[in-house]
Chain A
Amino acid sequence: MSKTSENPQTKHLVGRRAWRPAWPARPDRVLHRRRYFGTKRSVLKLSGQFNPKTLKREVVLTDKKPMFWLFGLFLLVAIPTAVGSERFLSLFGIICIYASINVMWTLIMGTAGLQSFATLATVGVGSYGAAYLSITFGLPWPLMLLVGLVLGIAMGFLISLPARRLDGLYYALLTLGLSEFCRNFVTQNEALGGKFNGALFGSARIVPSDMMTTRLGQTLAFLTTFIVLLVALAVFRWMNGGRIGLLLKTAATSKEDEAFASAIGIDWQRARMIVFMVASGVLGALGAFYSTYIGGTSLQIFSLDLLLLMLAMIVIGGLGRAEGAVIGTVIVVGITQWFTDWGPWRIVLAGALALLSVLYTRNGLFGLKEQMREIRTRRQALHRAAQTTKYAEFLPQQAPDIHDKSIIAGRTFERELREKLRGWITPEIIEEHRRSPLGQHSDHLERILNYFRKGPLPDKYAVYTEVPFQSYRVVALSGMPGVPPRIVDDKTYGSLDEAYHAVFMRRINDLKAS
C-alpha cells in the first residue's frame, strides 16, 4: 500500500474492469435468450452492448459462472478417463458420489435452512434397504434405485415430523444421533449382516462385477457416478434456483424473516418440507446407487466420523453453495483417499482444514473472495482517511452523506483561516491589544479581531458590568433567548479596557487550542 502511494504513476489508478467474454452480435437478429423449457428462466445471462472501442454491436456474458462450471466438470470427467488407472477412476468415482451427497445436503442446509445431520442416515437407509432387497429377492438395479428413492422419501417424512416444531440447533442435535442409532440397529440385526460387522455384499451392480476388472468397466462405473453427480446438480439447480428457492430465500436467515415471509403470504414451512422431501428422496436413491456401485454396503456409511468428514467438505468449500460442496469434496476426498499411507493423520489434516476455515473464513473457500474484498476496501478507506485533508474534520466515508457540500467547503475554509491566524499571534500583537483594546490596530491584529467578532453566539465571551466603572467580569453567552449568560471565572477587572483584554486573551487561547 505504502509503496504504491510513493509512486505517483500508480497513485491514481482507478482499477481494472473485470474481463467478460464477448462476441460480435448478429446484425440481422435481435438478441435471443435461450430459456429452460417451460419456464421463463434464461440459461445464460447475456446482455447486448456497443463495444466502446470498436463501436460494434456485441453480446456479453454477464454471469461467468456457467463457464467455470463447464470447465470444472470437464476436468472432473476428463482427468480420470484420460489417466485410466484403476486407482484414479475409483478415487474420482468416490468423489462424485460424495459430492452428490454433499450437494443434496447443501440443498437441505442452505436452501431449506434446516440444520439436519440425518443425511448419511438417509443415505444408509436407502443403501441397506436396496442391498437387502436385492440380495434376498434378486432385485435388478433400476428397481434398487426406485426402492432407494421410496425409502429416502419415507425417511425424509419421518425425520421432518419434528422439524416443524423444533428450531435450528435443537433439530441439529436431534438428528446428529440418528446415524449412530442406525449403526447400532444394523450391528444387532442378523438379517442386515450384523454378524459380519454390518457388511452386506452381493447385490446387483450397474456394471457387472466381471467387467469391473477391465479398464472399460471401471471407466463405465466412473461415468455412472459422474452422471449421478450431474443429476444431483440438476436437482439442486431446479430447487435452489427455481421458484421454491426464491420463496425460501425470503425466510432464510432469521426468525424475523420467517415472520415476514408468513406475513407476505409465503408458506415457507411447506416449501421447506418439499425441498427436504425431494433432497431426502435423492439421498435415498444415492444410497441405493452406492450399493449398486460397490455391490453392497457396509457400516462405514453410518459412522459419525464419515458424517463429520462430509461436514468438513461442505465447510471447507463454503456452506450453502453447490460449487463449495463439490470443491470441498474434491479437496477432502483427495486428501483422505490419495494419501492412504499417512494413516489417521490425513483425517486430522482434513479436520484441521475445516477448523481453520471455520475460525478464519466467513464462508469457506467460496466466501473468501468477498471477504478479501471487504478487508481491502476497509484498509483502503483507513489509508485514505489517514492521507487526506480534503474533507476537513469529516472522514472521507462521511462525505457522501453530507448533501450540502458548502458545509464541507466552509469547514475547510475555517480551518485554513484558523491556521493562518494562529501563525500571526505574537507577543507584540498581544501587547498592542493590551495598550489599546479599541481603536485603530495593525493589519494582523485587526484581522484576528474580525475573526473573533464573527464567531457564533453560543459560548461567545462578553463583558458584564457589575458596578459601572469599578468592577467588570467575563461571561460566556448562552446563545439562546431567555437563557442568561454564565460567569466564566471569579476574576473581576477594575476597568473596561482590562476586561476587553481579558476577553481577548481567552479567545486567543481558544484559537491556539483549536
Chain B
Amino acid sequence: MIELIISAAVLASMYGLVAIGISFTWASIGMLNLAQGFIFTAGGYAAYLYAQTLTNMGITEGPVMSIGLLVSGMAGSAVAGLFVGSIAFLPLQDRANFRTRGLIATLAISLIGTQLWLIFFGPQSKPLPPIFGTGRIEIGSGGVSYSQLGAIVIATLMLTAVIMWMRSSRAGLQMRAMMMNPLGAAVVGVSVRVTGMRVLAISGALTGLASVMLAQTFFVSPTSGVQPLTVGLIISLAGGLGSIPGTVIAAAIVGLAEALTARYLAQSLVPFVLFGIVVLILVFRPRGLGGLLEDVRE
C-alpha cells in the first residue's frame, strides 16, 4: 500500500511539473506550448552531456554529479524554452490568429526537434547516472527508494520555490499581472515579450527538472518527451489551464489512477482509464478543476 502511494506520488510530481509548465505558459502568454516534449528531451540530453563530460574527467558520483545533473537539465530545458519562444512566440505574438498559429508552430518545432535529437544523439536510449544513490528505506511492509524520495522532495521544493518567487518578486508580480489580464498588464508597462520569454524559461526549467528525474527510470531518447507531453497536457486540462492548485490536484488524481490501474487492472488499460477520468472531469467542469481563469480572459 505504501509503495502504491509512493509510486503515485512520484508520477504525480513528475507529470505535475510538466503540466504546470504548460499551464503557466498558456495562462500568461496565451500560447499552448506543445513543444514541451522537445523541451523535456532537451533537458535530458543536456544532463546526459554533462554526465559524459564529468565521467570523462573521472567523476562518476558525488554532489558535483548530482547537483550538476539537476542544474544542467534545468538549464538545457530553459534554453530550449527560450529557443521555442524566439521562434514561435516573438514573431507571432501580435499577429492575427496567434493561438492557432502558435499551436501549429510549436507542433512543427516538436516534429523538427525529435528528428534533430535523432540526428545528433542517435536512436538509442541514453542512461543517466543515479542522482540520489541506489539505497532504500524500509517503512512497515513496503519501502521507498532514494530516487523516489528524492524526486518527490525536489519537485515539491522546486514548486514551492517558484510559487514563493511568483508571490514575492517584481518579475513574479508582472507574470501574475499577465495571467490576469495581458492587455491590462501591457497598458501599465509590463513588457509582454520580456515577461513571456521569462515564463517560457521558467516552465522550461520545471520541465527539465522532471526530465532529469524521470530519466532515472526511463532513460533519455529522442521520443521520450511524447509520453510526458500527452500526460502533462491532460493534467493541465483537467486542472484547468492556469490554475496551480487545480493542476496539483489533477496531477495527484492522475498519478493515483495510474498507479491503481497498473496494480489492480492491467498496464495496458492505464491510458484509457486516464483518458476516461479526464473526460469525466471535463464533462462536469469544462474549465477543469480550478479553472475560472478562462472566463476572465474571454
Q: Which residues of A contact B (CB under 8 A)?
A: 115, 161-162, 165-170, 172-174, 176-178, 180-182, 184-185, 187-189, 194, 255, 304-305, 308-309, 311-312, 315, 343-345, 347-348, 350-352, 354-355, 358-359, 362
Known: A166-B286, A176-B34. A355 touches B112 (CB 8 A): yes
Q: With a CB–CB cut-off of 8 A, which chain A residues contact B37?
A: 304
Beta-carbon contacts under 8 Å, B248-298 to A = 266-272, 274-275, 278-279, 282-283, 286, 298
Would you list 22 pairs from A and B whose C-beta atoms are within 8 A, ordered by A residue? A162-B279, A165-B282, A166-B286, A169-B103, A172-B103, A174-B279, A176-B233, A177-B230, A180-B271, A181-B275, A185-B271, A187-B268, A188-B266, A315-B104, A347-B115, A351-B108, A351-B112, A352-B108, A354-B108, A358-B105, A359-B92, A359-B101
The SS class assigned to the A binding surface is: helix
In the complex formed, the residue of A with least CB distance to B105 is A358
Q: Which of A255, A347, A351 has the most CB of B within 10 A?
A: A351
Known: A304-B226, A351-B112. A359 touches B119 (CB 8 A): no
A308 engages B107 (CB within 8 Å): yes
B226 engages A180 (CB within 8 Å): yes
B87 touches A (CB below 8 Å) = yes
* In the bound complex, CA of A255 to CA of B298 (Å): 10
Q: With a CB–CB cut-off of 8 A, which chain B residues contact A170?
A: 237, 241, 282, 286
Known: A174-B278, A358-B108, A359-B92. A189 touches B230 (CB 8 A): no
A184 engages B270 (CB within 8 Å): yes
Q: With a CB–CB cut-off of 8 A, which chain B residues contact A347?
A: 111-112, 115
In the complex formed, the residue of B with least CB distance to A177 is B230
* In the bound complex, CA of A24 to CA of B279 (Å): 61
Known: A165-B286, A166-B282, A169-B99. A178 touches B112 (CB 8 A): no
B143 touches A (CB below 8 Å) = no
Q: With a CB–CB cut-off of 8 A, which chain B residues contact A362?
A: 96
The SS class assigned to the B binding surface is: helix
B207 touches A (CB below 8 Å) = no
B80 touches A (CB below 8 Å) = no
Q: Which residues of B contact A (CB under 8 A)?
A: 32, 34, 37, 87, 91-92, 96, 99-101, 103-105, 107-112, 114-116, 118-119, 223, 226-227, 230-231, 233-234, 236-237, 241, 266-272, 274-275, 278-279, 282-283, 286, 298
Tell me, rounded to whole Å, the shortest Cβ–Cβ distance linking A204 to chain B: 27
Tell me, rounded to whole Å, the shortest Cβ–Cβ distance linking A333 to chain B: 15
Known: A169-B103, A304-B226, A354-B104. A309 touches B111 (CB 8 A): yes
Tell me, rounded to whole Å, the shortest Cβ–Cβ distance linking B187 to chain A: 24
* In the bound complex, CA of A115 to CA of B102 (Å): 14
Residue of A182, A352, A359 near B112 (CB, 8 A) is A352
* In the bound complex, CA of A352 to CA of B92 (Å): 16
* In the bound complex, CA of A188 to CA of B107 (Å): 27
B104 engages A177 (CB within 8 Å): no
B268 engages A188 (CB within 8 Å): yes
Q: With a CB–CB cut-off of 8 A, which chain B residues contact A181?
A: 230, 271-272, 274-275
* In the bound complex, CA of A372 to CA of B237 (Å): 39
Q: With a CB–CB cut-off of 8 A, which chain A residues contact B107?
A: 308, 311
A348 engages B116 (CB within 8 Å): yes
In the complex formed, the residue of A with least CB distance to B268 is A188
In the complex formed, the residue of A with least CB distance to B283 is A165
* In the bound complex, CA of A309 to CA of B112 (Å): 10
Tell me, rounded to whole Å, the shortest Cβ–Cβ distance linking A182 to chain B: 8
Q: With a CB–CB cut-off of 8 A, which chain A residues contact B236?
A: 173
* In the bound complex, CA of A165 to CA of B234 (Å): 16
A162 engages B105 (CB within 8 Å): no
Tell me, rounded to whole Å, the shortest Cβ–Cβ distance linking A378 to chain B: 15
Q: With a CB–CB cut-off of 8 A, which chain B residues contact A172?
A: 32, 103
* In the bound complex, CA of A308 to CA of B104 (Å): 9
Q: Which of A177, A181, A185 has the most CB of B within 10 A?
A: A177
Q: With a CB–CB cut-off of 8 A, which chain A residues contact B110?
A: 304, 308
* In the bound complex, CA of A167 to CA of B287 (Å): 10
Q: With a CB–CB cut-off of 8 A, which chain B residues contact A352?
A: 108, 112
A176 engages B230 (CB within 8 Å): yes
